[in-house]
Amino acid sequence: MHRFTGPREAIKLPGFRQSWIPGLIKEQEKMYSVKSYFIKADNALKKLVKFSAVLSSGIIFVMMFIISADVVMRYLFNRPIQGVYDIAEFSLVGVVFLSLAYIQSVRGHIFMEIATSWMPVKGQMAFEIFSHILAILFFAIIFWQSGRIAWTAWVIQDHTMGLVMLPLWPAKSIVPYGSGLICLQLVSNLIHEVFLLSRPALKGLKEKGRD
Query: What's the predicted TM-score (pTM) here?
Result: 0.71
User: Averaged in consecutive runs of 10 residues, what is the pLDDT profile of the chain (211 residues)?
Assistant: 45 45 52 67 89 92 88 85 83 91 84 70 78 93 94 87 80 93 92 71 45 47
Tell me how many degrees the CA angle 72-93-183 measures, rounded to the nearest 5.
155
**What is the rounded CA–CA span in Å between residue 199 and residue 211?**
19
Number of other residues whose CB lies within 10 A of the CB of residue 191: 13
Which pLDDT score is estimated for 210?
A: 46
Which pLDDT score is estimated for 51?
A: 93
Which pLDDT score is estimated for 17?
A: 44
Which pLDDT score is estimated for 28?
A: 52
Which pLDDT score is estimated for 40?
A: 81
CB–CB of 70/84 below 8 Å? yes
Q: Choose among 29, 211, 49: nearest CA to 121.
A: 211
